[in-house]
Amino acid sequence: MKQFKEMFVAQLKLTFREKQAWFWGIFFPVILMTIFMVIFSGSSDNEFSAKVAIVDENPNPGSQMMLQQISQIPVLEVKNGKPVTREIAEELVKDQEVHAAIVLPEGEDATSILLVVNRENEQGVTTQALSGMLNNLVQQANLTAVGATPTYELQFESITSGSNEINYTDFLLTGMIALAIAQGGMFGMVDLVEMRRKGLIKRLRMTPANMNIFGLSDMVMRLLFSIIQIILLSLIGVLIFGANLYINFPSLLIVFLLGALSFNALGYFFSSFSKTSEAYMGVANIFSFIMMFLSGIFFPIETMPEWIQPISNILPLTYFVEGLRESMVYSTSVFSSSLWFGIGIMVLWGAVTFLIGSFLYKRKSIVAAR
């Protein structure tokens, strides 16, 4: 225990001296999470809304009926609260003061409604939503015109595996916690590169020090570092940005421990073939950058292009993010098969990279002995 205590303190001092590890492990996730939450905070809780300009230059019974129905749609905000001319409406669209202009039928015999949008936003979500609304409005008008009564209606219901409603703030918070812990493991092993380069590891092996205790103290120190990360980010997300966490503690404990160890193994693997700290940080940065945007941290994987999704589905951070999200937001039980499937893939990454890293370290030791 005395040897473990002394090695743990030494590892702690090494970590405090490594400014890059602190930046990537603590400050970078906090800064990144703050930026994204400030931009998107509350966006998932607000109803969709769109500003439109109405053109009704030749009022008639048909256009008046359409105008009345459009005015009753709560998510549409009519510019100036009344119809404007076609010229004014087009200027409003060009200047992007409104999302679109709706030109009502110009006469009793007219049968079309025109939707005018800015070409820059032609493929946007708002344009597609407005198009769907007006199409539904036209279908209702057609049924009314022939005196038909609608037989079917669309009802909407959302469900979740958790017991509470989930918003984007909860989604992003768990993703950033996973990213912070992963980066702490991948960037935290840079001190091993410097120790090996300076010959400190070789000298340590020549002392009575137990190398297993040395490795254990390093692992415990990094787990402590990860606990600081998860507590700090959770407090910022909950107290400042109003995130909601519904934690299943047994699931969280398992996902946290195995995830932190797996990414420590990745960092150990990077250190095994890096000759300098610069080379190590370069490799870790590339791998971290790829996983940051392809692992569902900021946006669901399902929204990505189909050809990218298979790449996301093999990355370890994808399953760490999902595991933390299930245990901290959805309160998923520890007996969930989907939870253990993700844990299995994540642990497989950790085991394989650790074995390869150990082999490379051992081979270098043999070569050095010759």
Q: What is the mean pLDDT of each run of 10 residues along the chain (370 residues)?
A: 75 68 70 76 58 87 82 83 87 88 80 83 77 79 70 56 65 88 83 78 72 70 82 88 89 94 90 88 91 88 86 94 92 90 94 89 59
Is residue 129 located within the same domain as residue 251? no
pLDDT tens by residue, 166-215: 678 888 889 989 988 898 888 877 777 877 787 777 777 777 766 667 66
Spatial strand order of the sheet with 50-55 comes to 76-78, 50-55, 100-103, 114-117
Asked, for residue 151, whether it belongs to a domain, the answer is no
Q: How far apart are CA 29 and CA 183, in angstroms?
A: 9
Q: What are phi and psi of 98, to 5 degrees?
A: -130, 160
Answer whether residue 156 is part of any domain: no
Give every CB contact of residue 206 below 8 A, 6+ residues apart in sequence.
Answer: none
Instruction: For residue 28, give every residue at least 6 positions away whose Cβ sits within 8 Å of its Cβ, in sequence order, or none.
Output: 180, 183
Residues 172 and 272 in one domain: yes
Number of domains present in the structure of the chain: 2
360 in Cβ contact with 277 (< 8 Å): no
Whether the CB-CB separation of 21 and 184 falls below 8 Å is answered with: yes
pLDDT tens for 216-262 read 677 777 788 888 888 888 998 888 888 888 899 999 999 999 999 99
Q: How distant is the alpha carbon of residue 216 from its chain centre?
A: 32
Domain of residue 141, residue span: 50-145
CATH of residue 129: 3.40.1710.10
Q: pTM, whole model, 2 decimals? A: 0.68
In a domain, 152, yes or no: no
Q: Quick check: 280 and 185 in contact, CB under 8 A?
A: no
Identify the pLDDT of residue 45.
46
Q: What is the pLDDT of residue 44?
A: 47
Whether residue 38 is found in the same domain as residue 76? no
The number of beta carbons lying within 10 Å of the beta carbon of residue 37 is 21
